[in-house]
Amino acid sequence: MTDIEFGLDTFGGVTRDANGEPVAHPQVIRDLIDDAVVADETGLDFFGVGEHHRPDFAVSSPEMVLAAIASRTERLRLGSTVTVLSSDDPVRVFERFSTLDAVSNGRAEIVAGRGSFIESFPLFGYDVNDYEVLFEEKLQLLAELLTEQPVTWQGTTRAALKDQRVYPTTAGGLKAWVGVGGSPESVVRTAKYGFGLFLAIIGGPAQRFARYIDLFERAQDEFGIAHRPVAVHSPGLVAESDEQAREIVHDGWLAMRTRMGQERGWPPPSPGDFEREIETGALYVGGPETVARKVVRTLQTLKVDRFDFKFDQPVPHGDQLRSITLYGEKVVPMVKDMLG
């Protein structure tokens, strides 16, 4: 367990200024680059940037942001969390990330997924009714492209390929994962095509995902595939004390949870939901020791190779940057000591 990696993820969520107003997208993106520099300086292992196409998230092209980060960091591995593969082209995805891999001197990773929002489907001319077949076929093709050998492939969602190689090549291959929200079918598919499993734990207790990790291991055995790594990601914020962290996060969390509920048909948050998610759910909010102990409980429950902290909350950027510093300088060392 002392070999577990620790990373940070962001969806490019729009932060708030001192008056509580949304920060403009260009500044949010520039702030993300500064966030990654601090993450690199504190010794963290991974920095992930997600793709969205909606006003409350600033990043629609993670690779561009990651390339800028690569120029200002030295050791952080850099990946997407996630690349919405269903509405993208696997050939272009490989080309962009193999280019990022060259720019970053071998630090690039792909986290492919279907995405938790569907805005990209009409934006790029895809029918959301083809949700399943688009992802299945494109994931299969991406898996073949990652071998960096001539590919012959035919499907229904793009033009066929015959003995086609894709460039640029990489020096050591691209590490690739599939982001999974919690369906058994997605876990089995991830195993089938030989990707790492990246579990998004954004609500409820972490232990309910243990069965998915077990399923992933069994599916790899049945497919005769060498075991790939498992990562988990959960949202949170670290402050100087538990009370300060809750005060910083509460209003933004409530507003976002209410908005997401209205979009997806969820019931509105009930009194006590925020506290329950902190105490027993997927929200890692508190002072360094409180967050560290919760991370340890998760890592003792789930067999994972990486724990990622989704740090972007609708809060002032200064609070977000302080959270990153505390996570890297205090939380992670505490976790390593407790596990050791």
E strands, 192-245, are 196-200, 230-238
% of the chain beyond a pLDDT of 70: 99
| pLDDT tens, position by position, 310-336 | 999 889 999 999 999 999 999 999 999
Handedness of CA 282, 118, 197, 327 (dihedral sign): negative
DSSP state of 316: B
| pLDDT tens, position by position, 4-34 | 999 999 999 999 998 889 999 999 999 999 9
Per-residue tens of pLDDT for the chain, all 340 residues = 669 999 999 999 999 998 889 999 999 999 999 999 999 999 999 999 999 999 999 999 999 999 999 999 999 999 999 999 999 999 999 999 999 999 999 999 999 998 778 899 999 999 999 999 999 999 999 999 999 999 999 999 999 999 999 999 999 999 999 999 879 999 999 999 999 999 999 989 999 999 999 999 999 999 999 999 999 999 999 999 999 999 999 998 998 888 888 887 888 888 899 999 999 999 999 999 999 999 999 999 999 999 999 999 889 999 999 999 999 999 999 999 999 8
Residue 1 · residue 302 · CB < 8 Å: no
Q: Kindly give, in sequence order, each residue whose CB lies less than 8 Å from that of residue 29, ignoring residues fewer than 6 positions away.
A: 12, 58, 59, 65
Measure the CA–CA gap between 112 and 84, rounded to whole angstroms.
Answer: 6
Measure the CA–CA gap between 268 and 246, rounded to whole angstroms.
Answer: 20
Measure the CA–CA gap between 255 and 168, rounded to whole angstroms.
Answer: 44
Split into its structural domains, the chain has a count of: 1
Q: Kindly give, in sequence order, each residue whose CB lies less than 8 Å from that of residue 39, ignoring residues fewer than 6 positions away.
A: 8, 47, 73, 76, 324, 328
pTM: 0.95
Token pair belonging to 146 = 């990652």
| pLDDT tens, position by position, 66-98 | 999 999 999 999 999 999 999 999 999 999 999
CATH number where 57 lies = 3.20.20.30
Find the helix or strand (DSSP H, E) in which 110 lies. strand 108-113
Token pair belonging to 166 = 């894709």
The residue segments making up the domain with residue 226 are: 5-339
